[in-house]
Structure 1
C-alpha cells in the first residue's frame, strides 16, 4: 500500500495535495473529498446506501488531523468531520478522480441537483 510522503492543504485553492512513495501525486479538490467522504453519513452502513451530497462547490477544508500512522481526518468548513481517509482511500480517490467525478456530476444531473448551495438547477 502506498504511503504519503507529503500532505499539503492548499486553502486558497480549496484542495489537498498528496504525494505518495510510489511517485503518485494527487491534487484533490475539497468538494470532491467532501462528497466522497468515507464517513457512514455519506457512504451508509452497507452496499447501496451511499448518499448523494449536493451543494458543496464552495466547501473548504479547515484542518487535516493525523489518525495514527494510517490515515487523516479532514475537517470541512461545513462542520463535516467524521470521515477517516486512510492512505489507501486517498490513493484510490486520486487514481479514480476523473471517473468518480463524472459519475457524481451525472448523478446530480439525474436528480436535478446542483453543486451550488441552493441545490437545484445547473451543476
Structure 2
C-alpha cells in the first residue's frame, strides 16, 4: 500500500492564548487583577466582568441575543473559583455565578476593554437604562 499516507497532514498547534500566572481579587477596589505569561498585567472591573459574562444569561443562545444588564455599577465579585486548568468561575454579589471565564476570554476582555465598554454604555443608553 505505497502512498497510503500521502494525505496525512501535520497541523501546527494554534497559537496559545496568554496564560494567567496570577489572578488576584481586590475586593475593596472591585477589581480582578490578572498577570499573563506574556507579561501583560490587567485590572478588570467587577461591573465590566459582570456585563460581559460569557454565560448564556448574558450572551443569549445565539447571535444577536446578547442582553444588556443594567444597574450593575456597584456589583462586586465575592468568589473566584478555578475550573480545571483553563478557566475561573466568578461569583458576583447579585447572585450571578454561571459565567466561566476561560483564559482566552479574559485576555480578549482585557484587549477589547475600551471598545466593549463603549458598546455597553451605548446599548444601555439606547435601552433607556443606567449603570445604577
Gapped runs of 5+ residues in structure 1?
117-123
User: Structure 1 residue 23: deviation in Å?
Assistant: 1.2
Residues in 2 aligned to 1:79 and 1:61: alpha-carbon distance in whole angstroms: 10
Query: 2:55 matched to 1:6?
Result: no
Query: 2:36 matched to 1:17?
Result: no
Say how many residue pairs are matched: 116
Once the two structures are superposed, what CA deviation does each residue of 1:44-101 show, in whole Å capped at 9, x if it has no partner?
Answer: 1111110111000000000000000000000000010000000000000001011100
Q: Indicate which of 79, 85, 97 corresponds to 2:95.
A: 79
Residues in 1 aligned to 2:53 and 2:104: alpha-carbon distance in whole angstroms: 13
Query: 2:44 matched to 1:28?
Result: yes
Query: 2:67 matched to 1:51?
Result: yes
User: Structure 1 residue 111: deviation in Å?
Assistant: 1.2
TM-score by length of 1: 0.93
Residues in 2 aligned to 1:25 and 1:114: alpha-carbon distance in whole angstroms: 29
Q: Which residue of 2 aligns with 1:119?
A: none
Residues in 1 aligned to 2:32 and 2:74: alpha-carbon distance in whole angstroms: 14
Q: Indicate which of 107, 115, 124 corresponds to 1:108.
A: 124
Residues in 1 aligned to 2:128 and 2:109: alpha-carbon distance in whole angstroms: 25
TM-score by length of 2: 0.87
RMSD, matched Cα: 0.5
Gapped runs of 5+ residues in structure 2?
1-16
